[in-house]
Amino acid sequence: QGCVQKYIVKNYFYYYLFKFSAALGEEIFYITFLPFIYWNIDHSVSRRMIIIWSIVMYIGQVSKDILKWPRPLSPPVVKLEMRTDAEYGMPSTHAMAATAISFSFLVATMNQYKYPFELGLVAAFVFSTLVCLSRLYTGMHTVLDVIGGALISAVLLVLLYPAWDTIDHLLLTSPFCPLLSIVVPLVLCYNYPKLDYYSPTRGDTTTILGAGAGATVGFWLNNQYATPAYTSENFQLGFPLITSKMLVVVLARFFVGIFIVLLTRRLMKSVVLGMLGYRYKFPIGDLEARRRLEVEVPYKFLTYSSVGFSATVLVPLLHGLLGLM
């Protein structure tokens, strides 16, 4: 592990296509696409997607460390990624995330906006298929891993769909929402399945649950003190013909929002890691110390819950101050 194989790229089209497709199942995509939906498309769609994504990814990550199925052997496959090589393989959480995000977006929007359902279905299928195929191309998963991940995600979507509106209503109106949104994910993170060796799955799971927790608290605060979801009209771009002026506003919202989100992540990483280093007496650059349970969980959770909160509360406030609403 950790040894990069030498390889020769013979087809650059497939190479860059599937490297890009693999990135659609990673943090850089989540931290841009999901907030973009919240800032520019529809608050209710974004809320449902974030909740579904958090649940699906948690179940997928835990399943990996319970089943403990190894990734494909190398050789014969050539692995184009090394960061996640220490994780187990089954199920593919890239496949789960791609299926959950694309089809939850389709289901959440098909009854709210007028667009050809067939077009939306094809787009969701193409998106999820590209991400799934990228995991085979990069040598990170077997066909069974990918199929299993997609099927598990599909089953979870079907099971959760009847409760979407109920869950959304409770998250916006229940006085217990902020407390439960923080406590439940933290309990899940601290009681994550133990492994014989270090794997980034616990840290990644904490990142996901932290972001979901921060966003959920933001949803609740917005509904209570800013713009109630069920009593007034939010700005909803939807899918009309986009004018040049609207496009400028959309892009301005996005770049302002991403700047604040990335700045929040950078600042919180430094502050939280510095505090934990002082508390547990380790230098910030000590990678082994940062992998300990008492460091990794609060470090990841506080950082990314702040990111989720910033994206749903601070960024919309800044948009209002800048006249971008």
Residues 6+ apart with CB under 8 A from 149: 60, 90, 91, 92, 93, 94, 95, 96, 99, 132, 141
Q: What letter represents residue 218's amino acid?
A: G
The Cα–Cα gap between 123 and 289 comes to 43
Nearest to 164 by CA among 242, 172, 301: 172
Nearest to 5 by CA among 73, 91, 107, 103: 73
Question: How many CB atoms neighbour CB 134 within 10 A?
Answer: 27
Question: How many CB atoms neighbour CB 208 within 10 A?
Answer: 27
Q: Is 319 a catalytic residue?
A: no
Question: How many CB atoms neighbour CB 38 within 10 A?
Answer: 24
Q: Is 94 a catalytic residue?
A: yes
The Cα–Cα gap between 325 and 318 comes to 9
Which position among 43, 141, 169, 319 bears the catalytic label? 141
Question: Secondary structure of the chain: what % helix, strand, coil (to 5)?
Answer: 70, 0, 30
Give the distance between the most distant pair of CA atoms in the chain. 59
Q: Are 152 and 63 in contact (CB under 8 A)?
A: yes
Alpha carbon distances (Å) from 38 to 81, 208, 243, 325? 31, 17, 20, 12
The Cα–Cα gap between 264 and 306 comes to 7
Question: How many CB atoms neighbour CB 224 within 10 A?
Answer: 13
Q: What letter represents residue 74's amino acid?
A: S
**Which sequence positions are flagged as catalytic?**
94, 141
